[in-house]
């Protein structure tokens, strides 16, 4: 009997620098599986963000460029415009994409750039040490909101998937989660669709992934999963927000 489950060719053997309980590893694997399955590794270019995932290129085994904070969609635009045959994706966190890079992501999406964005939302800045992000939940304590996010002062968390879905330009926008196996299966389907739309040169695609950061949330991995399900899922509703095809999947 042959092997029926193995590490994707698109993932390296490098030991991870991500913290215990962090879901970046799961998301990396999903992206790698999708790239393997679609057979595009030889013409894929990933764009690493600033944040924990800046080192993503240590784990993927294809060409990569490293962007500055928030600028990955502009960089991906540059690549895709001059080499439309390459498969390009940005892998960005919430501080990177939803704060300093808001302009770049909105305009790339609005121009209908034919690349894919994997947007990891863990409600906090990770690498800089757990500061408040635009996605931080109301009353959530972080190192820069030590008394909890005060929405009177800094507003409500930004729902990126819904915000970008409001643009008139056709796109595939979906929010998924990877905190439990059932969500992981759906997240993979969405990421695969996102890349397929790119390969078909149909539209911009973005998959927001609700994720955990036990270290900066001050929780055990198990508590973090529970908190994400109890606090983040009700606010960040899962499901497809916009699609060039009729939306079939219903939200949970």
Query: Minimum CB separation from another protein for residue 104, in Å?
Result: 5
- Of the pair 128, 226, the CB lying nearest another protein is at 128
Which H or E run contains 93?
A: strand 87-93
What is the Cα–Cα distance from 185 to 164, expressed in whole angstroms? 24
- Of the pair 21, 101, the CB lying nearest another protein is at 101
Nearest Cα to Cα of residue 252 among 241, 237, 242? 237
* CB neighbour class for 188 (10 Å; exposed up to 12, middle 13-18, buried from 19): buried
- Of the pair 106, 154, the CB lying nearest another protein is at 106
Here the tokens at position 69 are 């904070």
Query: Which residues neighbour 107 within 8 Å (Cβ) at sequence distance 6 or greater?
Result: 73
Question: By CB under 8 A, how many residues form the interface with another protein?
Answer: 35
Residues 75-104 that bind another protein (CB under 8 A): 75-83, 85-86, 103-104
- Does 19 contact another protein by CB under 8 A? no
- Does 198 contact another protein by CB under 8 A? no
What is the Cα–Cα distance from 243 to 30, expressed in whole angstroms? 20
Interface residue with another protein among 61, 122, 135, 140 (CB under 8 A) is 61
Interface residue with another protein among 28, 71, 188, 193 (CB under 8 A) is 71
- Of the pair 104, 208, the CB lying nearest another protein is at 104
Which H or E run contains 226?
A: helix 221-227
3 state DSSP class of 142 = strand
- Of the pair 22, 47, the CB lying nearest another protein is at 47
Residues 96-155 that bind another protein (CB under 8 A): 103-104, 106-107
For another protein, which stretch binds (CB under 8 A), given 55-63, 165-173, 202-210, 212-220?
A: 55-63
* CB neighbour class for 3 (10 Å; exposed up to 12, middle 13-18, buried from 19): exposed
What is the Cα–Cα distance from 210 to 190, expressed in whole angstroms? 13
For another protein, which stretch binds (CB under 8 A), given 39-47, 211-219, 222-230, 232-240?
A: 39-47
Query: Minimum CB separation from another protein for residue 72, in Å?
Result: 8
Neighbouring CB atoms inside 10 A of 124's CB total 29
- Does 204 contact another protein by CB under 8 A? no
Query: Minimum CB separation from another protein for residue 39, in Å?
Result: 11
- Give the interface with another protein as residue ranges (CB under 8 A): 41-45, 47-48, 54-55, 57, 61-68, 71, 74-83, 85-86, 103-104, 106-107
């Amino acid at each position: 009997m042959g092997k029926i489950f193995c590490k994707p060719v698109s993932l390296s053997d490098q030991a991870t620098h991500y913290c215990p309980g962090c879901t970046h590893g799961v998301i990396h694997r999903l992206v790698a599986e999708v790239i393997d399955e679609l057979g595009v590794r030889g013409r894929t270019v990933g764009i690493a963000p600033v944040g924990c995932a800046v080192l993503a290129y240590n784990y993927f085994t294809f060409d990569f460029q490293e962007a500055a904070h928030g600028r990955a969609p502009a960089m991906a635009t540059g690549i895709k415009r001059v080499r439309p045959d390459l498969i390009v994706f940005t892998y960005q966190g919430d501080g990177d994409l939803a704060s300093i890079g808001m302009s770049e992501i909105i305009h790339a999406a609005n121009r209908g750039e034919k690349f894919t964005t994997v947007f990891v939302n863990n409600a906090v800045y990770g690498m800089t040490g757990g500061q408040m992000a635009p996605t931080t939940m109301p009353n959530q304590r972080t190192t820069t909101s030590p008394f909890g996010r005060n929405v009177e002062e800094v507003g409500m968390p930004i729902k990126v998937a819904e915000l970008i879905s409001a643009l008139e330009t056709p796109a595939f926008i979906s929010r998924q989660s990877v905190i439990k196996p059932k969500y992981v299966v759906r997240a993979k389907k969405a990421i695969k669709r996102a890349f397929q739309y790119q390969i078909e040169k149909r539209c911009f695609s973005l998959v927001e992934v609700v994720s955990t950061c036990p270290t900066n949330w001050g929780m055990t991995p198990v508590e973090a999963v529970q908190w994400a399900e109890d606090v983040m899922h009700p606010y960040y509703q899962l499901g497809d927000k916009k699609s060039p095809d009729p939306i079939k999947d219903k939200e949970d």
